[in-house]
Amino acid sequence: MKLTDQFRFVRQNMKKNKTRLFMTVLATAMGCSFLIVLASVGFGLQKSIVDKVVGDRMVTAIDIYGIAAKDQVNTSMDQTNIEYLRSIDHVKTVTYRNYILQNLNPSVEGTAVNSNGAVNVDFVAEAKAGFALASGRLPQNGSEVIVGYNIRESLDGNKPNTEPPSAKEWLSKTMNLEVEQLAKDGTKQSKTIPVTIVGIGQKPSREWQTDTKVYVGNEILTEIESFTQTQWGEKRILADKENKDNPAGYEPLGLQDPRQYREVQAIADGANHVKAIAEEIRVQGYYSHSIADELEQVNLVFLIMKIGLLFVGTIAVLIASIGIFNTMTMAVTERAQDIGIMKAIGAHPSAIRRIFLIESSMIGLLGAAIGTIVAYIISIAVNAGLPLIIEGFMDEKVPQDFIFSWIPPYLAIISCLISLAVALLSGSRPAKRATRIDVLRALRRDL
């Protein structure tokens, strides 16, 4: 018997008692909707509270201290190490921070700036990692930079109880960076690179810390290095016999030499993946540390919470399954004679069972589809309405973007699968009963 014919039979059968079918689908839809909405509250709260806390870079970042190398730890990472870290599953991005190895003497509007150095960062990676800004934005082209929150502190310190002017006022202003190099013939060369300040870094979390760095992207680094012809813009020292400290001079690494990266961080795409990533790189000989690494039970807590909510919701679907079982049992009883006739002329028991299983799964799927749509509507209504109710009746202010209910697509899929599985389970016994209908009793209308 062809599948299309089985579906035709099911469609004909379902049309026979529309009211009963409607009530059964309604019960299933309510069960499925309850399951999704209940679980969505867990997912929503997790998204709003837990993910906001543990999704912070502080927790998702894994500091790579170095890599094991012949009885010592190599604290510099090369390009291969960076590529490897990027290739690990659930690593969102890899960041690094390297100091420009000379004082660039930054100045704004002709005034020298109190900066404790310029740092090269990969802004594309930083955008993914979540570079915290107090104001402004991340650079979008090669001549833009970010400055530290305390960049405007005066060179001789601030007077007690006085706040330095806000760095925010420097947004969009041009900063000049002075690059110097000593040519091999001893000639001193310099170049001014004008850059635009587009963002201000976040205030350091600890009171005693200050951030007066200038964060430059890879394009500016390239400009600096192409001028100095050395890695990280480092200045050379010429050989000088009269220089007692360093008579041989110093030639920094050239642009052709392998590049080393420092302050490398691998950023996980969620706090729950940090542990697995840390374990994987540890096996490869990396030394690493993360705050989330110490929160060993974080995965377990998330898992138990989600399973618990799904379990409670599944009970609602199981209650709905009683309706499906009842409907299918009635359907088998009502169609006993028809089933008997079909068996009498050669219908295979498995074909009969399949017809009833298709019917119960159609009820389950129909209920699940309607339930999912209703759940999404309820979820939107809850997110829109609940803050208003809380603000109106409880004098509490709900934080902006707070989500009470969130339905990730996989929750909807899991719920539909649960509904389908429960429907199949409910229909399996009546379907089996249908295959056991006695042909003679059915033909005698004795059922």
Partner 1 sequence: MIEMNQINHQFTIGKKGKERVIPVLHNIDLQVKQGEIVAIVGRSGSGKSTLLNLMSGYIRPTSGTIHLAGQAVTNMSEGEWANFRLAHLGFMFQSFQLIQSMTAFENAELPLVLKGVGVSQRKKRVMEMLDQVGIADYAGHYPGELSGGQQQRVSVARSLMLNPPIVLADEPTGSLDSDNERQLLALIRHLNQDRGTTFVLITHDEQVASVANRTITLKDGHLLTAAPAKGGIHSYEAH
Complex with partner 1: residue 5 or 109, whichever CB lies closer: 5
Complex with partner 1: residue 295 or 347, whichever CB lies closer: 347
187 sits near partner 1 (criterion: CB under 8 A): no
Smallest distance, Å, CB 364 to partner 1? Answer: 24
Complex with partner 1: residue 351 or 370, whichever CB lies closer: 351
Among 79, 218, 226, 350, the residue binding partner 1 under the rule CB under 8 A is 350
In this structure, what token pair is assigned to residue 330?
Answer: 């009635």
Smallest distance, Å, CB 440 to partner 1? Answer: 5
% helix / strand / coil in the chain, to the nearest 5? 50, 15, 30
Smallest distance, Å, CB 432 to partner 1? Answer: 12
Residue 401: beta bridge partners?
A: none
How many residues of this chain interact with partner 1, rule: CB under 8 A?
Answer: 21
Binding mask 319-348 for partner 1 (x = CB under 8 A): -------------------x--xxxxxxxx
Complex with partner 1: residue 319 or 443, whichever CB lies closer: 443
Complex with partner 1: residue 347 or 398, whichever CB lies closer: 347
349 sits near partner 1 (criterion: CB under 8 A): yes
CA distance 130 to 121: 13
Compute how many other C-beta atoms are within 10 angstroms of the C-beta atom of residue 369: 17
Among 45, 305, 319, 351, the residue binding partner 1 under the rule CB under 8 A is 351
Strands (E), 23-125: 61-69, 72-74, 91-95, 97-99, 107-108, 111-112, 118-121
Binding mask 7-46 for partner 1 (x = CB under 8 A): -----x---x------------------------------
Complex with partner 1: residue 168 or 436, whichever CB lies closer: 436
Tokens 């009842």, residue located: 326
Smallest distance, Å, CB 327 to partner 1? Answer: 17
- Separation of CA 82 from chain center: 21
CA distance 379 to 284: 44
Complex with partner 1: residue 13 or 415, whichever CB lies closer: 13
> What separation in angstroms does the CA of 400 have from each of 130, 209, 212, 309, 408?
19, 30, 31, 25, 20
* Footprint (CB under 8 A) of partner 1, residues 387-446: 435, 439-440, 443
CA distance 428 to 47: 38
Sequence-distant (≥ 6) Cβ neighbours of residue 108 within 8 angstroms: 170, 173, 174, 175, 176, 197
CA distance 199 to 170: 9
CA distance 330 to 429: 12
Identify the H or E element spanning 174: strand 174-182
315 sits near partner 1 (criterion: CB under 8 A): no
Identify the H or E element spanning 429: helix 409-435
Complex with partner 1: residue 1 or 133, whichever CB lies closer: 1
Smallest distance, Å, CB 340 to partner 1? Answer: 8
Smallest distance, Å, CB 328 to partner 1? Answer: 18
Q: Can you give the binding site for partner 1, defined by CB under 8 A? A: 1-2, 5, 12, 16, 338, 341-351, 435, 439-440, 443
